[in-house]
Amino acid sequence: MTVLPASDRSLFVSFGEEISWESHLRVRRAVSCLHGIRGILNLHPAYTSVLVDFDPRLFSHEQAIALVSSQLEAHRDDPPPPGRLMEIPVRFGGELGPDLDDVARHTGFSAEHVVERFTSVDYVVYFVGFSTCFPYLGGLPTELATPRLSAPRKHVPVGSVAIGGPQAGIYPLSSPGGWRLIGRTTLRLFDPVAVPPPLLRMGDRVRFVPEASH
Amino acid sequence: MQDLGRFGWAHFGISASGAADPLALRAANLLVGNAENEPALEMTLAGGEFQFEGDAVIALAGSDFGAGLPLWSAVRVQSGYTLRCGPSRGGARAYLAVRGGLDTPRVMGSASVHVMTGVGGRALRKGDRVEIGSEWVRGPRPPARNAPQYSPRTSLRVTPGPQASWFSGDLFSGAYTVSEETNRMGIRLRGPALANSGGHMITEGVPLGAIQAPPDGQPIVLFVEHQTTGGYPKPANAISADFWRLGQMRPRDEVRFELVTMEAAVELLRDQEEWLYSL
C-alpha cells in the first residue's frame, strides 16, 4: 500500500496497479473503515485506490496519513462489508443494443450466445464513479471483452448496458460514451431525489435478466 | 442556491458541488451574522432581480454585478425593496446572503444545487419565492477590509499532482485562456499543450482543483461538480487557498500557473482563514 498527497487536502491511497478481486476488497474495506470519521470529507474509490479528501484545517498531511494508516491497519482483517444482489432486467440487441452484432463479430459468437454468456454470471460493482454514479462492473467473461468504439458516441441513451474492454457497465444518465451498447434496462439507476441517488453501490452483485423484446 | 457542498457521498458517485467561490459565500454569511455554511444565492455572469417581501439584512460578496450597494458589507433593506443585479463587471460570481439564512430543502445534508444532475433541485427561475430563515448566530458585522480583487489575468497556485513526474514544465511555460466551454464540472483551458511521457493509468479518484491532461494536452481544471473518478493524468492541483479564484474566472480570462510547496499551500490557507475569522 502507498499513501501520497494528491493535493493540499487529499491523499491518494493505492493498493497497486493490478485490477483484481483482492485490490477491490481492500478498497471496499478502506471506504468502510474511513467513512464518517470527523475531518474526512469524501472518499473516492476506484479499482485499486481510494482518494481521501480531508479538512486541511483539522489535519496536516502527516496527521492524515497517520490516521488513514492506523485505521487501515486496525481493520485489515475485517470481512468485506456485505453487498446486495440486484437484478437488472435488460432487453438486448436491436435498437436498444446497437453494438451487440459487433460484439458477436469480435468474439466469434452468435448474438444469442453473447447474451447467454453475458447473463450467465453475476457481476460485482467495483465502484461507482466517473461523471455521476456510473457503476463499473467486474466479472465480465473474458471471452466477451471487446474494445471500445474508436470514436465515442455523442449521445448514449440512459439505461444502456455496455461492454468497454474487459469491463461492463450501465449508463445511469444519457451522456457521451465509447463503450459497446448491447442492451438497455428500463430500471432507473440514478434518481436525483433518492438518498443516495445511485441504485447500484460499490460491492453490490448484479445479475442481468434478459427480457423478451416485442 | 449554494452552501459549502454535500460531503460524504463521493463513494456513491456524487461530488460535493457547493459554492464555486466558497470564500465569498462564507464571507457574505459571516457579515450578516450567519454561520458560514448557510445557503446563499449564487449568481454567475448574469445577475437577476430580487424583491424582498419583508425587512432584511443582506450582504453581497464576490464580483461587482452593479447592484448599487456596497459589496462585502451587511446592508439593511426594507420590505418592498428590489435588488437589481446586472451583468458581472469584474469576476464571474457573486453571492447574496440574507441574515437568518434561506429556508430551502437540504438533500443529503446540503442545500447545494448540483446543477448538472439535479441533486438538490434546480437553479432558481423567474417567479420563484425563497423564504428567509431565522438561523443567525450573532449580530451583523462591519464591512470587510482587504476583500479579494478580481482581474482578467489570474495567477493560480498549484501543488504537484499524482502524475507530476510524467510532465515537464509545460504547464508553467506560458499563459492559458479560459474556454467558453467552461462550466461547474470543469474549467477548460487553451494554451501550451501538456506532453505526457508517462503513458497510461488506471482510473482513480480525483480531487477538486485537479488539473487533468487529456490526450490533446489542453488542461481541464476539475471544478465543484467534477466527476469523482478519472483516467487522465494530473500534473498539478490548485491549492485550497486559490479555490475562490477558480470561481471568479471568466471565459477568455488569462491564467498562469505557479508551483508552490504543500507547506506553502497550507500556510496560505491559514492566512485566508484568519482573514475570514477577522470578519
Q: From first to last of its 279 residues, what are the pLDDT tens digits of chain B?
A: 999 999 999 999 999 999 999 999 999 999 999 999 999 999 999 999 999 999 999 999 999 999 999 999 999 999 999 999 999 999 999 999 999 999 999 999 999 999 988 999 999 999 999 999 999 999 999 999 999 999 999 999 999 999 999 999 889 999 999 999 999 999 999 999 999 888 778 899 999 999 999 989 999 999 999 999 998 999 999 999 999 999 999 999 999 999 999 999 999 999 999 999 999
Q: What does the pLDDT look like over A84-96, one tens digit per residue?
A: 999 999 999 999 9
**Residue A4 cell numbers, joined:** 501520497
- Are the beta carbons of A211 and A96 closer than 8 angstroms? no
Q: Do A43 and B10 touch (CB under 8 A)?
A: yes
The interface pTM score, or ipTM, of the predicted complex is 0.95
For A96-122, how does the pLDDT look when each residue is reduced to its tens digit (9 = 90+)? 999 999 999 999 999 999 999 999 999
Q: Which amino acid is at B85?
A: C
Q: Are A83 and B240 in contact (CB under 8 A)?
A: no
Q: Which chain A residues have a beta carbon less than 8 Å from that of B9?
A: 42, 196
Amino acid at B234: K
C-alpha cell at B267: 500556510
Cα B100 to Cα B80: distance, rounded to the nearest angstrom: 18
Residue burial A31-59, b: 16+ Cβ < 10 Å; e: rest: bbbbeeeeebbbbbbbbbbbbbbbebeeb
Q: Which of B111, B138, B148, B113 is nearest to B27 (CA)?
A: B148
pLDDT in tens, A126-184: 999 987 899 999 999 999 999 989 888 989 999 999 999 989 999 999 988 899 999 99
Residues 6+ apart with CB under 8 A from B159: A5, A7, A8, B236, B237, B239, B259, B260, B261, B262, B265
Q: Which residue of A has its CA nearest to B186?
A: A131
Q: Do A42 and B237 touch (CB under 8 A)?
A: no
At A34, which helix (H) or strand (E)?
helix A21-34
Quote the minimal CA–CA distance from B69 to chain A in Å.
33
Question: What are B191's three cell numbers?
Answer: 494554451
pTM of the model: 0.94
Tell me, yes or no, if A200 comes closer than 8 A to chain B by beta carbon.
no
Is residue B75 classed as helix, strand or coil in its secondary structure? strand
Question: Is 60 exceeded by the pLDDT of residue A214?
Answer: no
* Packing angle, helices A111-118 and A100-107, rounded to 10: 90
User: What's the pLDDT at A213?
Assistant: 61
> Could you tell me whether strands A175-177 and A167-170 are parallel, antiparallel, or unpaired per DSSP bridges?
unpaired
Identify the pLDDT of residue B110: 97
Helices (H), chain B: 22-32, 243-247, 262-277
- DSSP letters, B13-60, are T------SSHHHHHHHHHHHTB-TTS-BEEEESS-EEEE-SS-EEEEE
Residues of chain A with C-beta less than 8 angstroms from the C-beta of B224: none
| Cβ-contact B41, B32 below 8 angstroms | no
Instruction: State how far the Cα of A154 lies from the Cα of A14, in Å rounded to an integer.
Output: 33
Distance CA B21, CA B162 (A): 25
Calpha distance B85→B63 (Å, rounded): 11
A149 in B contact zone (CB under 8 Å): no
DSSP three-state, residue B148: coil
